[in-house]
Structure 1
Amino acid sequence: MSATPPLYGGIEAGGTKWVCAVADAQGRLLATGVIPTTTPQATIAGAVRFFQEHRTLTAIGVGSFGPVDLRTGSPTYGHITATPKPGWAHTDVVSPLRSALQVPVGLDTDVNAAALGEWRRGAGRGLETLAYMTVGTGIGVGAVVNGRLMHGLLHPEFGHVRIPHDRSRDAFAGSCPFHGDCLEGLASGEAMRRRWGQRAEDLDDPAVWELEAEYLAHAVMNLTYTLSPERIVIGGGVAKHAGLMARLRARAFDLAAGYPATSALTDPAAMDEYVVSPSLGDHSGIAGAIELGMRRLASPDQ
């Protein structure tokens, strides 16, 4: 009798919805479902029901909004920590899932999961280093270096880096409650809504998107000069605006000023291959969450 092929679960745990999926060992999605993000108890219970109604799983991975505690020796490992999401601060995500489903549960940030998904099955296949920046309500960055997700003191919080802010061009003080005019405070969807009084998807003025491209181009160059990724993937709702990526690439090319002398920064055509949209579209996060589950299977006690 042949063994039953292993199946894996994935959760893209967002602030408005949890996307749940079951996949085979090749990452092919076999079932998906959406759970509204309400209270922690109701949302986690909904995810548990989804997986219980489908197949027996080998492991589950979760890419979660954060910040999250990823230190495996920490007493609060697996918890969403000081999030501004009402009712979700200090929520244990891993233990309830592991207890209810009796499988290993891997956890990382939502943007790290998206980076892993693109590296494994999307725009980063065959590369050793990849950075993924999401530009939506907030801004975050995940990175894969030599096949490993980047962690350190914390997970990366690139949305809070400082970038040039010409107040004569943009008098907006910034939307970040901690730093005001950090990258997220100037270029996130929430910053755009507060500055212009409309959602990003409703804004058509070219000057709006020239300014957005300016800020994101500086972010791209900061990533380039600090992490030196072989490719930068930019996803999220704001990044879907028609024409933004072309403006961003052009401005980043100007900012690079030919340094260093690598084709991505000296050839405009190569820049088109260096800064790209997600190959997996809206599925980067769930693909990475499933990969987190596969990776956790190797160390199920964490």
Structure 2
Amino acid sequence: MSKQNGLLVGGVDGGGTTFKCCISTAEGEILRSERFVTARPEDTMDACSDFFVRCAKAGQPPEGIGIACFGPLDIDPQSANYGSILNTPKAGWSGFNVRNELADRTGLPVSVDTDVNGALGAEMAWGAARGAKSAVYVTVGTGIGAGIFANGDFLGRPSHPEFGHIRVTRHRDDIYGGSCSFHGDCLEGLTSAPAVEARFGPPELMAPDHPGWEIVACYLAQACISLTLTLRPEKIVLGGGLLLAPGLIDHIREQYAAMLNGYLYMPTDAVAQLIVLPGLGDNAGLLGGAKLALQSLVSQ
């Protein structure tokens, strides 16, 4: 009998704006979930712990928890600081150990990885990158990050990539200085949700034909080209709140093809199959956390 039969696990998607928690089966079926505003770290961990305690009392006790969390993050299991958030612009979170704090509150084994590694793992198991041997998940929200899987593992271990801080060529009409507190006009500084809102207003209120989307698509297309030319992944999954904008994925694909300028022969349908939205939608990170817990439990 498989060690996965009947397992229930807890998943946490730790974002800079929202934390989400779930109870999931080993097959990736979410049985219940809740979301909380990302507040003070102690208060946020209290809310997560309370969710899992209530689930246990309701007859759905998780055997372990996985956290797919914003970073930068110490994801080395051999490190004394495994699970600690490093130098983040998110006030109050630098140095906070999400793994230890949640484990202490729940008494359960807790695994941790980056939000994008978690989301990519879930997409490769149950979503848009299922069956791919190499894939990238890029999240575009409060920040920007990328999880990269190739040659049987996630790239960058025991650390992780910081793809959101690569440099991009400025759009000719963009004079914004950038929102990144470390690098100004890096990819994250020009394309994250706060950067978009700073010059165009709330993204959810921008019309589909707003000229700002052309600028956003320009930078994300450059990011996809960098990934293609360096890694040649089978799938590039673009997730995060900003990708909910109607038509943005199509603008990115169009600019991607135009910027390549025929260098790589890629028919239109091939670009659409390469650059995709998450098959798991808003649950990619949440199920990524659940998959982390599952992997940890079945490997014991």
Q: 2:32 corresponds to which residue?
A: 31
Which amino acid in structure 2 is aligned with residue 140 of structure 1? G
RMSD of the TM alignment (CA)?
1.9
Contact 2:12-2:289 within 8 A present in 1 as well: yes
Residue 215 (structure 1) aligned with residue 216 (structure 2): no
Match of 1:92 among 80, 88, 97: 97
Secondary structure at the counterpart of residue 91 of structure 1: coil
Residue 225 (structure 1) aligned with residue 226 (structure 2): no
Q: 2:188 corresponds to which residue?
A: 184
Q: 2:274 corresponds to which residue?
A: 274
The CA distance in 1 between the partners of 2:242 and 2:102, in whole Å, is: 32
The CA distance in 2 between the partners of 1:101 and 1:138, in whole Å, is: 29
The CA distance in 1 between the partners of 2:61 and 2:242, in whole Å, is: 37
Which amino acid in structure 1 is aligned with residue 291 of structure 2? E
Deviation at 1:146, TM superposition (A): 4.1
The CA distance in 2 between the partners of 1:255 and 1:95, in whole Å, is: 45
Deviation at 1:137, TM superposition (A): 2.3
Q: 1:286 corresponds to which residue?
A: 286
Residue 135 (structure 1) aligned with residue 136 (structure 2): no
Deviation at 1:280, TM superposition (A): 0.8
Deviation at 1:161, TM superposition (A): 0.5
The CA distance in 2 between the partners of 1:218 and 1:258, in whole Å, is: 15
Residue 296 (structure 1) aligned with residue 296 (structure 2): yes
Deviation at 1:31, TM superposition (A): 1.5
Q: 1:244 corresponds to which residue?
A: 248
- 1:68-217 alignment, distance < 5 Å: 68-152=73-157, 154-166=159-171, 168-196=172-200, 198-204=201-207, 205-217=209-221
The CA distance in 2 between the partners of 1:299 and 1:104, in whole Å, is: 13
Moved more, 266-275 or 93-102: 93-102
TM-score (norm 1): 0.90
Contact 1:18-1:34 within 8 A present in 2 as well: yes
The CA distance in 2 between the partners of 1:195 and 1:260, in whole Å, is: 34
Which amino acid in structure 1 is aligned with residue 138 of structure 2? M
Deviation at 1:35, TM superposition (A): 3.0
- Aligned-residue identity in percent: 39
Deviation at 1:299, TM superposition (A): 5.4
Point out where structure 2 has 5 or more consecutive residues left out of the alignment.
Answer: none
Which amino acid in structure 1 is aligned with residue 37 of structure 2? P
Secondary structure at the counterpart of residue 297 of structure 1: helix
Q: 2:6 corresponds to which residue?
A: 5
Which amino acid in structure 2 is aligned with residue 158 of structure 1? F
Secondary structure at the counterpart of residue 19 of structure 2: strand
Deviation at 1:147, TM superposition (A): 4.5
- The superposition leaves residues 233-279 of structure 1 with CA deviations (integer Å, 9 ceiling, x where unpaired) of 11112112112111110110122233334xxxx20111111111111
Deviation at 1:51, TM superposition (A): 1.0
Residue 46 (structure 1) aligned with residue 47 (structure 2): yes
Which amino acid in structure 1 is aligned with residue 205 of structure 2? D
Which amino acid in structure 2 is aligned with residue 14 of structure 1? G
Which amino acid in structure 2 is aligned with residue 278 of structure 1? P
The CA distance in 1 between the partners of 2:299 and 2:91, in whole Å, is: 32
The CA distance in 1 between the partners of 2:231 and 2:271, in whole Å, is: 17
Contact 1:118-1:279 within 8 A present in 2 as well: yes
The CA distance in 2 between the partners of 1:153 and 1:259, in whole Å, is: 34
Secondary structure at the counterpart of residue 58 of structure 1: coil
Contact 1:106-1:295 within 8 A present in 2 as well: no
The CA distance in 1 between the partners of 2:37 and 2:104, in whole Å, is: 22
Which amino acid in structure 2 is aligned with residue 103 of structure 1? L
Point out where structure 1 has 5 or more consecutive residues left out of the alignment.
Answer: none
Contact 1:128-1:230 within 8 A present in 2 as well: yes
